[in-house]
Structure 1
Amino acid sequence: MSALAPVAPALAQAETQSAVQNAQQEEAPQGITLSASDKVWLGKIEKALNSVTTFQAHMQQLDADGKRTTGIVWMQRPGQMRLAYDPPTPLLLVASQDKVVFRDNQLDQTTVIPMDRTPLGLLLRKHVSLADDVTVTGFQHEGGLVQVTVVRTSSPGDGSLTLVFYDNSVSLRSWSVVDAQGRETRVTLFDVKSGITIPAGTFTLPAQPE
């Protein structure tokens, strides 16, 4: 389905914060009390996420500074995603091989982050779970939308992932990542095509620093 300022600067910041926080013992995140109805919706969301292994969509990204960018996103679970931004935005994000690589061609800068240290990695798991090793920290259902926020229970300082679904079709509308500094990047999807065959090479990682 970017807290990318676009998606990756925020992820890079989250990784920097995590390195500091790893030296400290993180407090367990505070989960919310879910009603029986809430739990039913979580089950529907899990089912919807796990029924889709590939998709392509147009996207609009809003970063923490209020900048809007557009592009195309491809996802293939487990573990692969590509966000290609429309010109003149010089950005590319590719997730594959257990890492997220963000490339800024204008700055000639590449950022590499382990997949399991980013909130985005929760969406790319082979089996997406809203329980097990994640904690639900927010839930809302109103205006035809269902929104759920989760963090990794063992490392909440890595940041949070919020997923927003249409309730009539239980389909993914948007996701947002909040980094350790509280900076949010939201990606909203349009013209989603799921169950497609994605061309070989789509998830080839950009060249990375030695």
Structure 2
Amino acid sequence: MVAAPLAVSGLTGCATSGYDHLVTNDRHDIRRVETYLNGLSSLQASFVQDGPAQQQGDGHFTYVPGRFEMVYEVPHAMRAVARDGRFVLRNADNGAVTHLSLKRNPLGLLLRHPVSFDRDVQVTNVSRGTESLQLSVAEADNPSQGLLTLQFSDVRGHLTLVGIQGVDARHHHFGLSLFDVQENQPVSESSFSLPE
């Protein structure tokens, strides 16, 4: 239920970094995603999370470039902060604190700022739907470490982040659906203090 280190099956062998190898429409949409993410000062939303073994949670998600916080209400009170290559979760019920490194975890790709999907990142897929856009990325030099998929609504050319999906090196799936999204609102710096 907690953001397990995200993983991937089926991404092995030599990887091509960046997205120059993709078709023009895909490159255009990737640049749109980069521009959107780099243009955010903040994003706040309610979330519903699916995790390993059908575990679920919900609460509030806050993102600013390079950091995010998740405050869980279900299944019980927990707070998680991702920043500086780390993910720290504190369970308010029992005081337990969990530390995960995001250095080689695809969730860490969301913490890069500015966001750029070239050089050491491999874009593995770009797909479009009715008023939606989805982009999947992995570490170019070691894609078997995991896959991160960002899901956007795409209404009249305006992107909004509405989902984050991932699979980790142990094949654990992580999914976060965002709703009631508010962008570029003031956020307290205390939101990103690491739980102790």
TM-score range, shorter chain: 0.7 to 0.9
Query: TM (normalized to structure 2)?
Result: 0.85
Query: Which runs of structure 2 are paired with 1:108-187 in the superposition (5 Å)?
Result: 108-168=95-155, 169-187=158-176
Cα root mean square deviation, aligned: 2.3
3-state secondary structure, aligned to 1:202: helix
Which residue, out of 53, 56, 72, partners 1:68?
Answer: 56
Q: Give the match for residue 50 of structure 1.
A: 38
Consecutive unaligned residues of structure 1, counting only runs of 5 or more, are 15-25
The 10-residue stretch of structure 1 (115-124 or 48-57) with the greater mean CA deviation from structure 2: 115-124
The 10-residue stretch of structure 1 (64-73 or 172-181) with the greater mean CA deviation from structure 2: 64-73
Tell me which amino acid in the other structure corresponds to 1:118.
N
Q: Give the match for residue 205 of structure 1.
A: 194
Q: Give the match for residue 18 of structure 1.
A: none
Query: How many residue pairs were aligned?
Result: 188
Is contact 1:96–1:204 with CA below 8 Å preserved after alignment?
A: no
Hey, what's the Cα distance between the residues in 2 that align with 1:170 and 1:162? 15
Q: Give the match for residue 104 of structure 1.
A: 91
Consecutive unaligned residues of structure 2, counting only runs of 5 or more, are none
Give percent identity, aligned residues only.
Answer: 28
How far apart are 1:159 and its partner, in Å?
A: 1.2
How far apart are 1:98 and its partner, in Å?
A: 3.4
Tell me which amino acid in the other structure corresponds to 2:176.
V
Is contact 2:57–2:74 with CA below 8 Å preserved after alignment?
A: no
How far apart are 1:87 and its partner, in Å?
A: 4.3
How far apart are 1:28 and its partner, in Å?
A: 2.9
> For 1:169-189, what per-residue CA distance to the aligned partner results, in whole angstroms no more than 9, with x for missing partners?
221111112111222111111
3-state secondary structure, aligned to 2:90: strand
- Higher strand share goes to which structure? 2
Hey, what's the Cα distance between the residues in 1 that align with 2:154 and 2:141? 30
Query: TM (normalized to structure 1)?
Result: 0.80
